[in-house]
Structure 1
């Protein structure tokens, strides 16, 4: 891999463009994940294994039940974090690939699972990228905390 100092750090526009692409993909993945839960609940209901009780439907149970709503929302967050962690540990999400960005350690190696979790926890839902404007090395808040960098890959001819 090229030395890190010869590679440009990713700018704010490219980062937000990649986030937008990834958001659309994550929404689709979340729809599938939630659809699996709803379909499973409906199948169990039709088999008589579960009852919604005083709740109107599966969505009502998943969003308002004191116990199941916590598990359901944790599951949705896990799917979201799992998607980002999986792709970040490979170096690129699909949105990052489209915008020619790569996440890496300063030595060019891919980030670890712990670094990906630190990035999620410190990204402020994408707003951590605004520090790119002020940082001389164009690092986002999550990059600083996770000790990694997002670079703009050179154009390959």
Structure 2
């Protein structure tokens, strides 16, 4: 366990995840709109055709290739969202609001490979359910698999980390 700060419990992690989900939804909407514009641009340039689809949205829904590309883009956006914040400061937007920080077991910022492992192993937040039964360690599935921990910060420490980002 981190020496100075306790590991975060389930409810703070959950509240943080709700905040982050709202931010990710906004990024996902922007990503899909840009993807629609890109596909529409390819149709306008006669690079691809609607192939009988009613519109560009229907084309993406009906095409395994185009819907797979859209899904891959949404996964990438999510991984980049968490990876960027976790590797830069240890805190996403939601984590900052709830005074949480992810770090290595030694107290350092996590690496990109650790961030990707954490994101994939979190199972859309279900990995946090382990915290409810792991009373001794207060660790989620993604904490164990990525060799990280989430700590609860004081107000002062949270402000210090935020000031250091400037």
What TM-score do you get using the length of structure 2 for normalisation? 0.86
Q: For the residues of structure 2 that align with 1:93 and 1:116, how far apart are their CA atoms?
A: 12
Structure 2: gaps spanning 5 or more residues: 160-166
Q: More displaced, 111-120 or 46-55?
A: 46-55
Give SS of 2:150's match.
strand
Report the alpha carbon displacement of residue 121 of structure 1 after superposing the two structures with TM: 2.0
Detail structure 1 runs of 4+ shifted over 6 Å in the superposition. Answer: none
What is the deviation of 1:47? 4.2
Deviates more, 1:65-74 or 1:8-17: 65-74
Distance in 2, Cα, partners of 1:79 & 1:155:
30
TM-score by length of 1: 0.91
Q: Which aligned pairs between 1:63-142 and structure 2 lie closer than 5 A?
A: 63-90=61-88, 91-135=90-134, 136-142=136-142
Which deviations, in whole Å up to 9, do the C-alpha atoms of 1:67-96 show, x marking residues without a partner? 222222111111111111111112111110
Q: Secondary structure at the match of 1:151?
A: strand
Aligned length: 155
Report the RMSD for the aligned CA atoms in angstroms. Answer: 1.7
